Structure 1
Amino acid sequence: MLKNTIAAFIVPAAAALTLLGCGATSEDIAQVKPSNLQPAKLFAQLPDSCPTPDAFDIAPDGSLTLSCVNYANKQPGMLLSLSATGEVSEIGLVPAGKRPARPMGIAYAPDGSLFVADNAGKHQGRLIRLTFNQQGKIATSEVVAQGMTSPNGVRYHNGFVYLTQLQLPKAKTKHLTSGVYRFKETDRNINVASDGTSKHLIYSTQTKNPDRQFGIDGLVFDKAGALYVGNLGDAVIHKLTLDANGVVVDDRIYAQLPNSVGPDGINIDAEGNLYLAGFLQNEIYKIDTNQKVTLLAKYPDNNGANGEIDQPADLIVYQGKLVVSNFDLMKGKGIVNSGHGKPYTVSYIEL
């Protein structure tokens, strides 16, 4: 049984801290004392077909699409549609490969097709492309790439699909290696070995934190084409500059957060401010264009019934709100969440 819901916290703007050459450290952030405010509210309560919601994208009709990876209760992987006012409908089950599909990151292409990271298990992960019929239901499914162990975040940018892989289990490196892949939107049936040798792997890094051996998770592009990626284990946000061929020509640390954060999904607003889902401690962070880091919300363990942040996996800037999916499943060392249970929810914070 989860604890009773408790009022959340928000750090006022005056308590914001700046990282990387501007004086503050990750330890400084950890010492910030939040004031007793509650910024998050309930955006939608989800049906039983979505016990573990994950990632968002905005559909061509302006609604939100939500992936339901559904590790909890072994439900089949599902896509949901959420209206601007929180009404929920089912788009459909994601077509399975050799194993049931486990949809995580999603990204729409300009033609209305949807690219989905299917985290189906060791060496069974896929990047797939879905199309839809006139009723908005899934019509076709094609495999872009396959053979991965942990495909996670997905972004579409200028005719290419970018995919993060949390770990490359066959890479012969001292620490856990993770990376970012780049595929043409027209690529199909590419076999990807998780050893770091694929020509589609444009970036990789090693996670130093021995207590959290997970790597690159969330990613997002800014208007200038810079790619931001977050290492979940080391709580580092990298800013990558790519040339016209997708080659990383510059890699710099954009922000360093405490290892206790576990940054998962990353999103960006029209002004270039980043927003991070702090998966481990029920936190939401903002990083402005001056690299100033603000802790927007921090919740204790809760059941999310009133819209509290409950193990946030992803977030998206949507119609003046920051909409947040509550994964509410993982528990263990360093994780505030103590268990999984109803209600299954999506929260929002007014921006």
Structure 2
Amino acid sequence: MKRIKHLTLVLSIAACSALPPALHAQTPAKLFAELPEYCPTPDALAVAPDGSITLSCPNYAKGGFPGILVSISKDGTVSKLADVPGANGKASARPMGIAYAPDGSLFVNANQGPHGRLLRMTFKNGQHEKTEVVAKGLNGPNGLRYKDGALYVTIAMMPKVETGKNTGGVYRFKETDRNIQVNNDLSDPNLIFTAETQNPKKQFGLDGLVFNKAGDLFVGDFGDGTIYRLTLKSDGTVASSEVYAQAPNTAGVDGIDIDEAGNLYLAGFSQNQILKVDTNKDVSVIAEYPDNNGANGELDQPADLMVHKGRLYISNFDLMVEAGMKNTGHSKPYTISVIDLSEVE
């Protein structure tokens, strides 16, 4: 495989702990779906070819439940779609980012510590038919997007890259690749971008990502709240990069999506928030909740979000309990929230 030089961006980012009160405008979140017992920690969302929603459930909250994929109908009815097999048949994979290709195949980031893999799963008549390994040896693959025959994967932590601060990376694989071995260091030819996380209080890096209509790739750093814009060459490598916007570094920017007008929406994992970055690059908080159980659709540690037909669908992870996070514990119900984007100011 041709060696692809990676592009590293290292910036000193000033702490941004809060937005002015004028930039907070509460938009109510409502309950879209209550998830079953076997999906206690929901994560990534994608629209399936039949119009239903596919949801990954890594299920870190309860060791007895394997990582699975579920399907959610337009009326919020939930059904199991498929198990996600672990590496070498051992343990359970923890599916995180998911993305459909035009042929209907589903690509899945199977997060299994340093043994993470990028999988291609195919279905026939609604039943799981086959699983193929695109890449293996990924250290906790997280965000995932499909674009023009290629998969873009974020790695939040690359411990082999020793710079004194956490380094996160973006990898690119062809959808036709199989069994690519990843080293998780700067020698990887599939590594196209890296960035150091500057926030000493949260050394956790590149996470959510999304493309705009022009083909620019936006990537968020969880610890810094920084949103990068990457301009890509025709071969999918990075031509240039810039800091596009700066969210508070306390937000915990997780999943990212974009609407038809080019506005970005960010899942504020740490503060129970949804943030918006408009086309003027202005950042605002459109929804925010105190710690809660999510029973009425309140945001409860939002991990991923998806813009679909004028609505914003949000998965509530409700698990991590750390200093600086609003969440204080894991509890039922397990939920997907929805926000009507027509109500966003």
When normalised by structure 1's length, the TM-score is 0.90
User: Given that residues 238 and 251 in structure 1 are in contact (C-alpha distance below 8 angstroms), is that contact kept between their aligned partners in structure 2?
Assistant: yes
Report the Cα offset of residue 96 of structure 1.
2.0
Residue matched to 2:157: 167
Structure 1 residue aligned with 2:28: 39
The equivalences for 1:59-78 within 5 A come to 59-74=48-63, 75-78=65-68
- Could you tell me how far apart the structure 2 residues matched to 1:31 and 1:147 are? 43
Asked if residue 52 in structure 1 is aligned to residue 44 in structure 2, the reply is: no
Query: How much does 1:137 deviate?
Result: 2.1
1:105 corresponds, among 97, 103, 113, to: 97
Give the secondary-structure state (helix, strand or coil) at the position aligned to 2:159.
coil
> 1: distance between equivalents of 2:16 and 2:24?
18
How do residues 230-269 of structure 1 correspond to structure 2 at under 5 angstroms?
230-269=220-259
Structure 1 residues 74-112: Cα deviation after superposition (integer angstroms, max 9, x where no partner)? 210111111122111110211222331100000000110
Cross-structure match for 1:15: none
1:142-189 deviations in Å (ceiling 9; x for gaps): 111111221000000000000000111111222111100000000000
Is the 8 Å Cα contact of residues 54 and 104 (structure 1) preserved in structure 2? yes
Partners of 1:29 and 1:293 lie apart in 2 by: 11
Q: Is the 8 A contact 1:286 1:294 kept in 2?
A: yes
Using the alignment, how far apart are the partners of 1:264 and 1:80 within structure 2?
A: 21
What is aligned with 1:119? 111
Q: Secondary structure at the match of 2:62?
A: helix
Q: Distance in 2 between matches of 1:35 and 1:286?
A: 10
Unaligned residue ranges in structure 2 (runs of 5+): 1-13
8 A contact 2:26–2:285 mirrored in 1: no
1:225 counterpart residue number = 215
Secondary structure in 2 matching 1:72: coil
Deviation at residue 196 of structure 1 after TM alignment: 2.2
The CA distance in 2 between the partners of 1:266 and 1:36, in whole Å, is 19
Structure 1 residues 115, 28: CA separation in 2 closer, same or farther (over 3 Å shift)?
Answer: closer
CA contact (8 A) 2:246 2:283 kept: no
Whole-Å separation in 2 of the counterparts to 1:177 and 1:269: 29
Q: C-alpha distance in 1, partners of 2:155/2:133? A: 16
Question: What are the ranges of 5 or more consecutive residues in structure 1 without an aligned counterpart?
Answer: 1-24
Residue identity opposite 1:142 in structure 2: E
Residue identity over aligned pairs, in percent, reads 57
How much is the aligned-residue C-alpha RMSD, in angstroms?
1.5
- Say whether the 8 Å CA contact 2:169–2:194 is kept in structure 1: yes
**Residues 108, 114 of structure 1: 8 Å contact kept:** yes
Q: Deviations over 1:20-60 (max 9, x none)?
A: xxxxx975853326879561000000001100000011100
Paired residue for 1:328, among 318, 323, 334?
318
1:174-231 per-residue CA deviation (whole Å, 9 max, x = no partner) reads 2111100000000000110112210000000111111101000000000100000000
Asked whether the equivalents of residues 152 and 164 of structure 1 are also in contact (C-alpha less than 8 Å), the reply is yes
CA contact (8 A) 2:26 2:288 kept: no
4+ residue segments displaced more than 2 Å: 25-31, 33-38
Query: Could you tell me which residue of structure 2 aligns to residue 205 of structure 1?
Result: 195
Structure 2 letter corresponding to 1:83: S
Q: Which amino acid aligns with 1:177?
A: T
The aligned residue for residue 316 of structure 1 is 306
Aligned counterpart, 1:20: none
Change (3 A) 1:33 1:303: farther
Instruction: Identify the residue that residue 19 of structure 1 maps to in structure 2.
Output: none
Is the CA contact (8 Å cut-off) linking 1:116 and 1:129 kept in structure 2?
A: yes
Is the CA contact (8 Å cut-off) linking 1:229 and 1:238 kept in structure 2?
A: yes
1:269-313 per-residue CA deviation (whole Å, 9 max, x = no partner) reads: 111111000000000011111112221001100000000000000
